[in-house]
Amino acid sequence: MLFNPAIEQLPLPQLRKLQNARLREQVAYVQARVPFYQRKFAAAGIDAATFRGLEALTKLGFTKKTDFRDNYPFGLFAVPEHEVARLHCSSGTTGKATVVGYTAHDLEIFSEVVARSLVAAGCRPGMKLQNAYGYGLFTGGLGIHYGAEKLGLTVIPVSGGSTDRQLQLLQDFRPEILCATPSYAQVLAEEIHRRGIAPEAINLRYAALGAEPWTEAIRQQVEAGLHVQATNIYGLSEILGPGISQEDVDERGTGSYLWEDHFYPEIVDRETGEPVPAGELGVLVLSTLTKKAMPILRYWTGDITNLYYDHSVKRTHVKMGPIRGRADDMLIIRGVNFFPTQVEDIISGLAHISPYYQVVATRRGSLDEVAVNVEVAESLLRELGLYAPLTDELVQQHDYLRQLQGTFAKKIKDNIGLSMRVNLLSHGQLPRSEGGKLSHVQDLREVK
Ligand code: DLL
C-alpha cells in the first residue's frame, strides 16, 4: 500500500515539471510578501518575473539558522499573524528558539507527508500507534499525531519519557507501532529486557525512529529488543517537522524517500557551498515548494548526507542516505577530524552505557582537550545501589564503574585515535531540550 500512489510514483520528468512550476510560484510568493527575501533577491539581481526555476535555484544563496534568529519571532512569515494556525519551535538546549508557523493549508500538507511516511514505515489504517515523541513546541509529537490520524490509525499520545507508563501502555493497549527517538527506543528495549517482560506481552511490529542521528548497530539493537522492524524518519522544524523523508520498511538500509513534490533537495559542499557530484556526501539544502506561512528557500540544514535515485524500488522520489553528522558538529581535535557519531558507534558496542552522551571540547593553552560525558544505564546503577547523581569520586570507589570508564576511554583511543576523558553520569544529568534531545557536541574552545 502507498498513501498517495499518484504522487509517490509520479514519473521523474513529471515530478521535475511539478517542482519547477511550484518553485517559480514559491519564488513569486516570497518576493511579494517577505522583506527578508525581497532584500536577498534584490542583492542577487533576481526577479520572480524572469526567474527560470530549478536551473536558476543556486543563484538564490542560502537561508541559514541565523536568519531565523535575526528575524525572531515572526519576521520570516509570509502571511498575517491571524492566518497562522499553529506555532512550533526548534529549540536547542542553548540559544534563542527558532520559531516556525503553519497555515491550515501547511498543516494539511504536514499530515499528508507524515501519513505517507507512516505507510512506508509499515503502518496500515486500523493499527494503533504509541507516540513517544514529545508533545509541545517540538514538532515531533503533534506532527506524527495528526499524520497518524489522517492515515486512520488509533493514536496513543503518551509523549516522551515516563518509561513505566510507556511499558504499561505497550502491554495494555497493544499498539503495533512505536514512534520515538532511537535512543529512547533503546531505553525501552533495555527496560523490557531488564524487567523480563515476555515478547508476547508486547504487540509491536514497527518503529519509526528519528529526530537524531542513529546507526545500523542501533537499528539491530532496537529491532531485537522490541521485536520490530525499525525505519528512519527525518525532518526539521525550519522546513516542516518530521516527515520530510522516510525509509520504507521493505527497503531498510537503502535510504529514506524524500517527498520531492513538497521539498526540493540539494547536496552542497560544506566549504564552498557548490553542488557536489551526484551521490556524494555534503550538506543537505532544502527548499519548500508549497509552504504558505513560512516558505523557506535553500535552507542550509547542516546535516551531512547524500542523495541518489534507486530505480528498482516502490517510489520514484529521491532517496536520502542516513545523516552522517552535522556540518557544524564536526570537530577538529589536535588536527584529527571527527564526528560525535564515531563515539556513538563505540557506545553501541558497550554494555551498561546509555545512548545519552555529549562530547565537550575545551582548550588549555594551545592544547585541545576533549571529554565525553555519558550517562550509565539506569539498571546498572540500581544494581550497584547508587541513587545519588554520579560524581568522579563515586566512580573511583566502584571497581566496575572504574573499569567501564577505562574500557570506554581505551576504545575511543583505539578507534578514533584521540585521547578523551570519559565522565560517567547518572540518567538525566545531561541537559535535554523540550523534544528530549540533547546536543551531542559542545565546542567551548575560543579559537575554532
Ligand atoms: O527533530 C523533527 C523530527 C521529529 C524528525 C520527529 C523526526 C522525528 P528539529 O527539532 O528541528 O526537528 O531538529 C532537526 O534533527 O536538522 C537533524 O540534525 C536532526 N534529525 C532529525 N531527524 C533525524 C534523523 C525534528 N532521522 C534536526 N536522523 C535535523 C538524523 C535527524 N538526524
pLDDT value at residue 448 = 38
Ligand 1 pocket, 304 CB below 6 A?
no
pLDDT value at residue 93 = 41
- Looking at the fold, whether 395 and 356 belong to one and the same domain comes out as yes
Q: Degrees (nearest 5) of the Cα angle 306, 57, 26?
A: 110
Q: Closest by alpha carbon to 244, among 112, 57, 150?
A: 112
- Looking at the fold, whether 370 and 286 belong to one and the same domain comes out as no
Residues 218, 232: Cα–Cα separation, whole Å: 11
User: How far away, in angstroms, is 268 Cα from ligand 1 center?
Assistant: 19
295 Cβ contact partners less than 8 Å away, ≥ 6 residues apart: 26, 29, 30, 34, 78, 288
pLDDT value at residue 213 = 83
- The domain of 430 spans 331-443
- Looking at the fold, whether 73 and 214 belong to one and the same domain comes out as yes
- Looking at the fold, whether 341 and 200 belong to one and the same domain comes out as no
- Looking at the fold, whether 53 and 137 belong to one and the same domain comes out as yes
Ligand 1 pocket, 133 CB below 6 A?
yes
pLDDT value at residue 151 = 98
- The atom number, within ligand 1, closest to the CA of 238 reads 11
Task: Decide: residue 270, CB within 10 A, 0-12 exposed, 13-18 middle, 19+ buried.
Answer: middle
- Looking at the fold, whether 286 and 393 belong to one and the same domain comes out as no
The total domain count for the chain is 2
Residue 424 sits at φ, ψ, to 5 deg, of -90, 135
Residues 168, 175: Cα–Cα separation, whole Å: 11
Ligand 1 site-directed mutation target among 87, 113, 142, 212, most atoms within 8 Å of CB: 212
Question: DSSP class of residue 378?
Answer: H
- Looking at the fold, whether 279 and 386 belong to one and the same domain comes out as no
Per-residue pLDDT of 162-174, as tens digits, reads 999 999 999 999 9
pLDDT value at residue 96 = 62
User: How far away, in angstroms, is 54 Cα from ligand 1 center?
Assistant: 26
Query: Is 189 inside a domain boundary?
Result: yes
Question: DSSP class of residue 253?
Answer: T
Ligand 1 pocket, 213 CB below 6 A?
yes
- The atom number, within ligand 1, closest to the CA of 233 reads 26
Beta strands 206-210 and 177-180: pairing type? Answer: parallel
pLDDT value at residue 254 = 97
- Looking at the fold, whether 207 and 249 belong to one and the same domain comes out as yes
Q: Which regions of the chain are under pLDDT 70?
A: 91-96, 446-448
Per-residue pLDDT of 198-248, as tens digits, reads 999 999 999 999 998 888 988 999 999 999 999 999 999 999 999 999 999
pTM: predicted TM-score of the whole model, two decimal places: 0.86
- Looking at the fold, whether 103 and 248 belong to one and the same domain comes out as yes
Contact 337, 278 (CB under 8 A): no
Beta strands 128-131 and 177-180: pairing type? Answer: parallel
- The atom number, within ligand 1, closest to the CA of 322 reads 28
Query: Is 88 inside a domain boundary?
Result: yes
Ligand 1 pocket, 245 CB below 6 A?
no
- Looking at the fold, whether 237 and 318 belong to one and the same domain comes out as yes
Residue at which a domain ends, from 303, 326, 349: 326
User: Measured between alpha carbons, how far is residue 218 from residues 135, 178, 188, 301, 345 in Å?
Assistant: 24, 15, 13, 23, 9
User: How far away, in angstroms, is 186 Cα from ligand 1 center?
Assistant: 17
Query: Is 78 inside a domain boundary?
Result: yes
Per-residue pLDDT of 120-161, as tens digits, reads 999 999 999 999 999 999 999 999 999 999 999 999 999 998
User: How far away, in angstroms, is 90 Cα from ligand 1 center?
Assistant: 10
User: How far away, in angstroms, is 134 Cα from ligand 1 center?
Assistant: 13
Give nearest CA residue, ligand 1 atom 10: 90
- Looking at the fold, whether 413 and 433 belong to one and the same domain comes out as yes
Mean pLDDT computed over every residue of the chain: 93
Q: Supply the CATH number for residue 320's domain.
A: 3.40.50.12780
- Looking at the fold, whether 424 and 321 belong to one and the same domain comes out as no
pLDDT value at residue 446 = 65
Residues 51, 46: Cα–Cα separation, whole Å: 7
Strand partners, 264: 287
Ligand 1 pocket, 323 CB below 6 A?
yes
**H helix runs in 227-350, sequence order:** 340-348
Terminal alpha carbon distance of the chain: 49
Residue at which a domain ends, from 326, 360, 393: 326
Helix H or strand E segment including 208? strand 206-210
pLDDT value at residue 334 = 77
Structure-block grid coordinates of residue 127: 493499527
Query: Is 448 inside a domain boundary?
Result: no
pLDDT value at residue 345 = 85
pLDDT value at residue 344 = 87
Ligand 1 pocket, 325 CB below 6 A?
no
Question: DSSP class of residue 212?
Answer: S
Residues 429, 358: Cα–Cα separation, whole Å: 11
Residue at which a domain ends, from 326, 351, 381: 326
pLDDT value at residue 94 = 43
